[in-house]
């Protein structure tokens, strides 16, 4: 149980285009999902917390107008990188919150590798 | 700001040996800690967790130790196998709802035959 999927697994796009990444909880409902970014050989950095039916909460330094997050249902959150530039190239990982043995735990997706040319 | 850090960025061990990966945390309010394993090109995989009301928890071949006095966390892997080669992250959070995780810098574990 507690499987999270992401689509696409990798994407290459031209500079200036927008890219949408989907995060789905497959066998559970997640009121809260998280989006992380990870650069090579670095740790995961939280970008935003996404709550179903409400606006996302962005971490300091993350541009909300550039990284659009939508959490329209209990099983789907999307991250759209608008007007992508080469510096946005990174590994984007989502997680979904689920209660396990009384503790709220985050289950991670497999990640989406974005390369902006 | 507060952060979770690791003492060793890389760790090389021989197959069959025991591995110990360390982590220091600084947020005294954190009461829930998790170790994740991340293989190349994949998302983090949950290994084991521990709440602050415990100082030790064991899983299959893994043990997590928590020392709240010095704010230190460790992951012990028994009889390390080549499949254990990955980057290991500790993470801390405050329990009660889906609060954000603060990740450490990560330790790469390399297991040699």
Alpha helices, H only, chain B: none
A28-80: per-residue pLDDT in tens? 888 889 999 999 888 999 999 998 888 899 999 999 999 999 988 889 999 99
In this structure, are residues A92 and A79 in contact, taking their beta carbons and an 8 Å threshold? yes
Give A21 to chain B, closest Cα distance, Å.
15
A13-24: per-residue pLDDT in tens? 999 999 999 999
Facing A46 at nearest CB: one of B49, B100, B104: B100
In this structure, are residues B53 and B100 in contact, taking their beta carbons and an 8 Å threshold? no
Residue B84's φ and ψ, nearest 5 degrees, are: -85, -10
A76-107: per-residue pLDDT in tens? 999 999 999 999 999 999 999 876 655 677 88
- B34: exposed, middle or buried (C-beta count within 10 Å: 0-12, 13-18, 19+)? buried
- Cα separation of A23 and A39, whole Å? 19
The verdict on A31 touching B (C-beta cutoff 8 Å) is yes
The verdict on B83 touching A (C-beta cutoff 8 Å) is no
Give A30 to chain B, closest Cα distance, Å.
10
- Give the pLDDT band of residue B2 (cuts 50, 70, 90): very low
């Amino acid at each position: 149980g507690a499987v999270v999927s992401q689509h696409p697994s990798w994407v290459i796009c031209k500079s200036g285009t927008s890219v949408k990444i989907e995060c789905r909880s497959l066998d559970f409902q997640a009121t809260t999902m998280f989006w992380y970014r990870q650069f090579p050989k670095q740790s995961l950095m939280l970008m935003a917390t996404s709550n179903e039916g409400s606006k996302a909460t962005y971490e300091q330094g993350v541009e909300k107008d550039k990284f659009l997050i939508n959490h329209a249902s209990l099983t789907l959150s999307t991250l759209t990188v608008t007007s992508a530039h080469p510096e946005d190239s990174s590994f984007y990982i989502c997680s979904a919150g689920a209660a396990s043995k009384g503790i709220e735990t985050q289950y991670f997706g497999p990640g989406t590798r974005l390369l902006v040319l | 700001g507060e952060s979770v850090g690791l003492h060793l960025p890389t760790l090389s061990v021989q197959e069959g040996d025991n591995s110990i990966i360390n982590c220091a945390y600084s947020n005294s309010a954190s009461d829930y800690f998790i170790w994740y394993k991340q293989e190349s090109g994949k998302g983090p995989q949950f290994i084991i967790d521990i709440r602050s009301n415990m100082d030790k928890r064991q899983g299959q071949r893994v043990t997590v130790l928590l020392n709240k006095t010095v704010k230190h966390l460790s992951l012990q892997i028994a009889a390390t196998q080549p499949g254990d080669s990955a980057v290991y992250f500790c993470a801390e959070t405050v329990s009660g709802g889906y609060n954000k995780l603060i990740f450490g810098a990560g330790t790469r574990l390399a297991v040699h035959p």
